[in-house]
Amino acid sequence: MCGIVGWVAYDRNLVHEQSALRVMTATAALRGPDAEGLWLDQHCGFGHRRLAVIDLAGGVQPMLAEEDRQPTVALTYSGEVYNYRELRALGHDFRTDSDTEVVLHAYLEWGEGLAERLNGMYAFGVWDGRQQRLLLVRDRMGVKPLCFHPTPDGVLFASEPKSILAHPDVSAEVDLDGLRELLALVKTPGHGVYRGVHEVRPGHVVVVDRDGTRTRRYWGLSARPHPDDLDTTVHTVRDLLEDIIRRQLIADVPLCTLLSGGLDSSAVTALAALGSREQGLGPVRSFAVDFVGQTEHFHPDAMRPEPDTPYVHEVAKHVGSQHADIVLNSGELTDSLYRTEVMVANDIPTGLGDLYTSLFLLFRAVREHSTVALSGESADEVFGGYRWFHDPTAVNANGFPWLTALPDRPGGTQGLFAPELERALDLHGYRDAAYRQALAEVDHLPDESPAEHRMREISYLHLTRFLQTLLDRKDRMSMAHGLEVRVPYCDHRLVEYVYNTPWSMKAFDGREKSVLRAAVADLLPESVLRRQKSPYPSTQDRVYERTLRQSLTEVVDDPQAPIAELINPPRVRETLAAPLEESGFGMSRRSVELLLGLNLWLRRYPVRLALT
């Protein structure tokens, strides 16, 4: 896992642009704390910050392939390719044991077609000097970030927008579409927040040459018949999970799991413990986040019926992991330094303040012991775990189900912005257009029942418009500490198989994630198998609520606050006068978080709003 940057310019000699490339590369230092590398040719320059995970001595980047001692192909690469050992059977001459060199030789063997042959999470750029062409490749599910900014004579690209914004010819501008994307709680594939900065869509390659830029999809969710019965399906899912975890345990640095006591992370931890014993690696480490006094004084709510910690400890004991709880207090969650670091790592503000800050602090603590962590992220999207998957009102609504199921949604902004800005934003229209576009992409089988037809759409919406926000959060918060977080449930083989499993089979026992529960039933305590879905924890400490109120009150009362001209002060004060909901998804609390984040963003980032 690393940070990458690149610059292609056909009308200038980039050999003389080392200082600009070095500044861009320096912004990725936290993503890659172990080494820095630069490479410049006449029309292409690559930068790289390395987090060494496999072949610590080899794998130095940017990596070059040469003919007659002249570099012909250069690679800057981030991520992990889990089938790199099989790909070494290409028969090429390898000088290192790294997956980086395997990716380079895969390009030499298959060119643009290498993408279809990789299994993993990755984002990389390949410059082919023979053709004067750049290839940008992003993994199928978008686990690793990759963005680009077209220029008059080429392109800039990087792992994160901050690296592109560090280029002297680029300014950090946000227009109405960018602000809509920030506020909509719908992740539009390929869309960025900053003007001119686009994301390489998951499962796509972008090719840049003198004729311009073209994009090709090499993978996507497609409808296929599911020939297996229930027993075969359950066993296939188990076999896939065992193979996925086995591959993702490969590392030359300490590895752990992130454990919440729910079905998803407990299954990953149990399988990792099993695989670790089989490979003679000893007991697996596990970590969980908690808040001071949360377990003792827990208040059930609509989203979180019970605390995580008792289940965490039961699973850790059951599988024999070396476990540690990372316990946070409200002072840490509201610390202005941490909140600023979170915003800078994320490049944009968020209405899920404590959910980001706590993850940031969890990963900071984990990094003191491990360099790689396995996460249970994305199982809910793959297997249908959220409660609105099973809510007929949300399923049959004419819109994104999470927005219907959570009317007091994170970052809900009705009436909080200045009236003229709200009219210009038209978030309802923006979400509706995004919803129509997403549905138009869904591939269906000709004989699907209406119920299966709709549930395929629901699955597609979550895998392409909801999951990406969580993957981005995981990536930014972990890589801010140089921690590589792997996501086993995002293996494309598992995603393809479960996506095409009929919904009637996915929910065969009337519960969420039925197939996953059956596949790992022999590995987990009965209490975890019975446990109701509970999302990532949010602090219930009243001190946190009071601090949010006080901070936003100070902002609203300051006519010079960066956000002053954007908000509707009477409505914001009214919101502050009402109780802030504790669920972690209450409109009031999340709106406060969002407005504070926007104010911090405009104050600390060189952002220019172009809203007219």
Cβ atoms of residues 356 and 593 within 8 Å: no
For residue 266, is it left (φ>0), alpha (ψ between -120 and 50) or beta?
alpha
Catalytic residue among 2, 44, 147, 256: 2
C-alpha to C-alpha distance for 595 and 372, rounded to whole angstroms: 34
Structure tokens at 16: 């003389």
Phi-psi sector, 510: left (phi>0), alpha (psi -120 to 50), beta: left
Tokens 């809510």 belong to residue: 391
Strand-pair partners of 567: 417
CB distance 519 to 241 below 8 Å: yes
Distance (Å, whole) CA 383 – CA 304: 19
Q: Which residues contact 88 (CB under 8 A, 6 or more apart)?
A: 94, 102
In order, the DSSP letters of 104-170 are HHHHHHHGGGGGGG--EEEEEEEEETTTTEEEEEE-TT--S--EEEEETTEEEEESSHHHHHTSTT-
Cα separation, 202 vs 483, in Å, equals: 22
> Is 44 known to be catalytic?
no
Pairing relationship of beta strands 285-291 and 322-328 according to DSSP bridges: parallel
CB-based contact 535:388 (threshold 8 Å):
no
Q: Cα separation of 321 and 313, whole Å?
A: 10
Residues noted as catalytic: 2
